[in-house]
Amino acid sequence: MGDTEKKLHFVMVHGFGHGAWCWFKIRSLLEASDYKVTCLDLKASGIDPSDPNTIFTFQEYNEPLIDLLSNLPENENVILVGHSAGGLSLTYAIHRFANKIHMAIYVAANMLRRGFVSDQDYKDADPDLSKYGDINKTVYGLGADQPPTSTVIKAQFQRKILYHLSSKEDSTLAAMLLRPGPLRPFRGVHFTEGPESGADSVPRVFIKTMHDRVIMQHQQDAMIRRWPPAQVFVVESDHSPFFSTPSHLFAYLLEAVTSINCAT
């Protein structure tokens, strides 16, 4: 690996209810290959002490990511990797910090240029888990007459929906660490493109998960079709390839970096 590649900095952004912990296998593989890796806990996630029922805006939820990008050295760019709802955080960052992002990699993630603006956006990117029944444990932190403030998939459904191809050990670990995620930041989250927006200046890669029970195949294909990335990779995984197929995910992360570097 050359000196330029050694300086690449991966920033891993988790999905709803997860935390930095979900990337532990990928982080180990990347660091063993001499990459710099930062795994973030967004607000009220992982070991962040915030109460999810008190996080009301998408900006507040993403403060750890925004702080990191705001304080990057002038000569350092990052490779953002986002899983599931973490894709919204990637797009938010792209609109604000395009000049600090070398590449954005969406892993079974929401990839909507402007967020949830139209009915089609919800159809293409919002998970519909209704067929599994009453799966969520939801909190109404502002009162029963107000919209809910946080939710988590009930323990008995987590493996079936999120980790069905992952090892029992990994899904057990996840069950011990999964937290209710804040709902209010995601209500109608959308991104305004100003004249300085670099939405198309950051190369994007999408990694499809072929056995996903959260973001379905037709949804992933629709997002790819509507906002085409530079490259698409496919993994035979459940919704959580960092657990079920970590070596393949790792290989595609490196291949994405190499292919974009060659193209530029």
pLDDT at residue 198, as a whole number: 73
| Length of the chain counted residue by residue | 264
Catalytic residue among 41, 124, 212, 238: 212
Catalytic residue among 84, 150, 237, 240: 84
Confidence of residue 3 (pLDDT cuts 50, 70, 90): very low
84 part of the active site? yes
Catalytic residue among 14, 18, 95, 239: 239
Is residue 6 over pLDDT 50?
no
pLDDT (tens digit, 9 = 90+) per residue, 108-139?
999 999 999 999 999 999 999 999 999 999 99
Average pLDDT over residues 33-42: 96
Domain map (residue ranges) of the chain: 9-262
Average pLDDT over residues 194-205: 81
pLDDT at residue 1, as a whole number: 42
Average pLDDT over residues 224-253: 98
* Contact predicate 123/175, CB 8 Å: no
Average pLDDT over residues 26-34: 97
Is residue 243 over pLDDT 50?
yes
212 part of the active site? yes
- Torsion angle in degrees (nearest 10) through CA of 118, 124, 126, 129: 140
pLDDT at residue 75, as a whole number: 83
* Contact predicate 29/164, CB 8 Å: no
Is residue 155 over pLDDT 90?
yes
Helix (H, G, I), strand (E, B) or coil at 107: strand
Confidence of residue 259 (pLDDT cuts 50, 70, 90): confident
Is residue 5 over pLDDT 60?
no
pLDDT (tens digit, 9 = 90+) per residue, 74-96?
888 999 999 999 999 999 999 99
pLDDT at residue 8, as a whole number: 85
Is residue 161 over pLDDT 60?
yes
For the chain, where are the alpha helices, taking DSSP H only? Answer: 3-6, 24-32, 58-61, 63-70, 86-97, 119-125, 155-162, 168-177, 217-226, 241-244, 246-263
Which CATH topology does 9-262 take?
A: Rossmann fold (3.40.50)
